[in-house]
C-alpha cells in the first residue's frame, strides 16, 4: 500500500498544528507503509519509504490580484500542480482546506479513495474573512466539497466530529475520531536554559508561556489583556508570530506596548522558534496557557504536558478531551457569543479568569507538581504517534478493501 499526503505545511515550512501533525504522522506511517508527501514549497528529498516533494506557491501570475485573494488563487494553482505529476498511490489523504483541492482532483482524476483530516473547520473560523475577504467563501466551498465527497473523515476530537455532523452533509459512519499525537522521545523535559537566556527569560523566576500564531482563533489578545491581573512576580513569555493580518498584528503590538508601560517582564518573541528552543521554553515554564476561542484539538497542550508543564486552557473544543480538569491543568470556562465571530460574551471576565487560573497554579506548588506528573502520564497513555499511525493505516486498508 502507498499513501499520498497533500498538505500546505511540511518542514521546514511549518507554522501551525496541522504542519506538526503531518510531519510526525508521515514519519510514523512510513515505518508501516510507503508514504509520498506533496506540499507547498521547494522540498525535494526521499528515503526508502518516505518521499517528499514541494510545489512552488509564489506565482508571479497573481502579483496583480487583490491582496486578500492572492492566497486562494495561489493555493488552487499549487493544488493543480501537485496533481500534474502522475499519482500512483492507493489512497490520498489531505490536510486543511489549502490542500483539499489537490485531494479532490486526485480522487476524481486518479480514482483513489480520499481521506480528509479536519484540523479545523471554516464555518467555525469566521475571522478568516479578515484575511481572505471573499476568498473565505472559496475556502469554505473547497472544504465543504472535500469533506462531503471524502471516503473517510478523520476528526481530531469527539467535539470536532460533532461539528462536522452539524455543519456538513455526511453520514456519521464516514467519520472516525483519531487524536493528534506527539513524539514522546523528542518532547520531554529539558534541563537546558540557553533559549531562555537568549530571549531574556529569567530561569529562576516563574513564567507563564504562550506558543502559537497571532490569530483570533488562538485568543492571544485575551491572554495579553489578562497580564494586568497576574501576580507581579510572574514573567510572561509570548512566543507568537505569523499574524493572520496586518490589522491583528497592529492590535498585538499596541496592546503589548500598553501592558509594558506598567509591567516590564513581558517578553514577546515575535517569530516561530525551532523545536529544541520551544522544548526548553515548555520545560521551564511554570504554567503553559492556551486561551483559544476555537481549538479542534490543540497539539500545543500535549507538547507542554509531555515536557512536564501544567496547563491553563480555555474549555473549548478538543481541549476538554486533552486537559483533565484539576489533574493535568485547569480548564477556564468560556461563554461564547451564539453567532460569529464566537468571541467571549464578556471578554474582560474571560481574561480575569485566565489570570486567576495561572495565579492558582503558580501559587500552589503541590497542585502544580501533581499536574506536571499527571500531564506526562496522560500523554504517554493516549497521544503516542506510534499507536495513532496504526489506527490511520487500518482506516486506509478498510477503504482500499471496499474499492
**pLDDT computed for residue 177 by the predictor:** 97
**pLDDT computed for residue 256 by the predictor:** 96
What pTM was computed for the model?
0.89
Superfamily of domain 2-181+384-401: Glycogen Phosphorylase B; (3.40.50.2000)
pLDDT, mean of residues 129-143: 93
| Per-residue pLDDT tens over the stretch 282-313 | 999 999 999 999 999 999 999 999 999 999 99
The grid coordinates of residue 187 equal: 518532547
**pLDDT computed for residue 264 by the predictor:** 86
Q: How far apart (Å, rounded) are the C-alpha atoms in residues 361 and 196?
A: 21
Superfamily of domain 194-382: Glycogen Phosphorylase B; (3.40.50.2000)
Mean pLDDT (the chain, rounded): 95
pLDDT, mean of residues 243-249: 90
The grid coordinates of residue 366 equal: 503541590
Partnered with residue 171 across adjacent β-strands are: none
Residue 132 · residue 70 · CB < 8 Å: no
Question: Do the two domains 2-181+384-401 and 194-382 of this chain adopt the same fold?
Answer: yes
Give buried/exposed letters for 172-198 (b at 16+ CB in 10 A, else e): eeebbbbbbbbbbeebbebeebebbee
Each domain of the chain, given as residue ranges in start order, spans 2-181+384-401, 194-382
Q: Which region among 68-72, 114-118, 329-333, 369-373 has the lowest average model confidence (pLDDT)?
A: 68-72
Flag whether pLDDT at 317 surpasses 70. yes
**pLDDT computed for residue 244 by the predictor:** 87
**pLDDT computed for residue 130 by the predictor:** 85
**DSSP character at residue 296:** S
**pLDDT computed for residue 99 by the predictor:** 97
Flag whether pLDDT at 202 surpasses 70. yes
Amino acid at each position: 500500500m502507498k499513501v499520498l499526503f497533500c498538505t500546505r505545511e511540511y518542514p521546514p515550512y511549518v507554522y501551525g498544528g496541522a504542519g506538526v501533525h503531518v510531519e510526525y504522522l508521515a514519519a510514523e506511517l512510513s515505518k508501516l507503509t510507503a508514504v509520498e508527501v506533496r506540499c507547498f514549497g521547494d522540498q525535494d528529498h526521499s528515503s526508502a519509504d518516505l518521499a517528499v516533494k514541494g510545489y512552488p506557491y509564489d506565482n508571479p501570475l497573481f502579483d496583480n490580484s487583490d491582496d486578500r485573494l492572492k492566497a486562494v488563487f495561489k493555493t488552487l494553482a499549487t493544488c493543480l500542480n501537485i496533481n500534474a505529476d502522475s499519482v500512483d498511490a492507493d489512497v490520498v489523504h489531505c490536510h486543511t482546506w489549502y490542500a483539499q483541492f489537490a485531494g479532490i482532483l486526485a480522487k476524481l482524476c486518479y480514482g483513489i479513495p480520499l481521506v480528509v483530516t479536519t484540523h479545523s473547520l471554516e464555518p467555525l473560523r469566521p475571522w478568516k474573512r479578515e484575511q481572505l475577504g471573499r476568498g473565505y467563501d472559496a475556502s469554505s466551498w473547497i472544504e465543504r466539497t472535500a469533506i462531503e465527497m471524502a471516503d473517510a473523515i478523520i476528526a481530531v476530537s469527539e467535539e470536532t466530529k460533532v461539528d462536522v455532523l452539524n455543519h456538513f452533509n455526511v453520514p456519521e459512519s464516514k467519520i472516525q475520531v483519531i487524536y493528534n499525537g506527539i513524539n514522546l522521545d523528542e518532547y520531554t523535559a529539558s534541563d537546558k536554559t540557553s533559549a531562555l537566556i537568549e530571549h531574556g527569560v529569567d530561569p529562576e523566576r516563574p513564567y507563564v508561556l504562550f506558543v502559537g500564531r497571532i490569530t483570533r482563533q488562538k485568543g492571544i489578545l485575551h491572554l495579553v489583556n489578562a497580564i494586568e491581573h497576574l501576580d507581579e512576580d510572574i514573567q510572561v513569555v509570548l512566543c507568537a508570530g505569523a499574524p493572520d493580518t496586518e490589522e491583528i498584528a497592529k492590535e498585538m503590538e499596541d496592546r503589548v506596548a500598553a501592558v509594558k508601560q506598567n509591567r516590564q517582564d513581558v517578553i514577546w518573541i515575535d517569530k516561530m522558534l525551532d523545536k529544541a528552543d520551544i522544548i526548553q521554553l515548555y520545560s521551564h515554564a511554570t504554567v503553559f496557557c492556551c486561551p483559544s476561542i476555537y481549538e479542534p484539538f490543540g497539539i500545543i497542550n500535549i507538547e507542554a504536558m509531555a515536557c512536564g508543564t501544567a496547563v491553563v486552557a480555555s474549555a473549548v473544543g478538543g481541549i476538554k478531551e486533552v486537559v483533565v480538569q484539576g489533574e493535568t491543568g485547569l480548564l477556564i470556562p468560556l461563554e461564547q457569543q451564539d453567532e460569529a465571530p464566537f468571541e467571549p460574551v464578556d471578554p474582560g471576565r474571560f481574561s480575569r479568569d485566565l489570570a486567576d487560573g495561572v495565579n492558582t497554579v503558580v501559587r500552589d506548588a503541590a497542585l502544580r507538581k501533581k499536574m506536571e506528573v499527571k500531564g506526562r502520564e496522560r500523554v504517554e497513555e493516549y497521544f503516542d504517534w506510534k499507536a495513532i499511525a496504526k489506527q490511520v493505516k487500518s482506516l486506509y486498508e478498510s477503504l482500499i478493501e471496499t474499492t
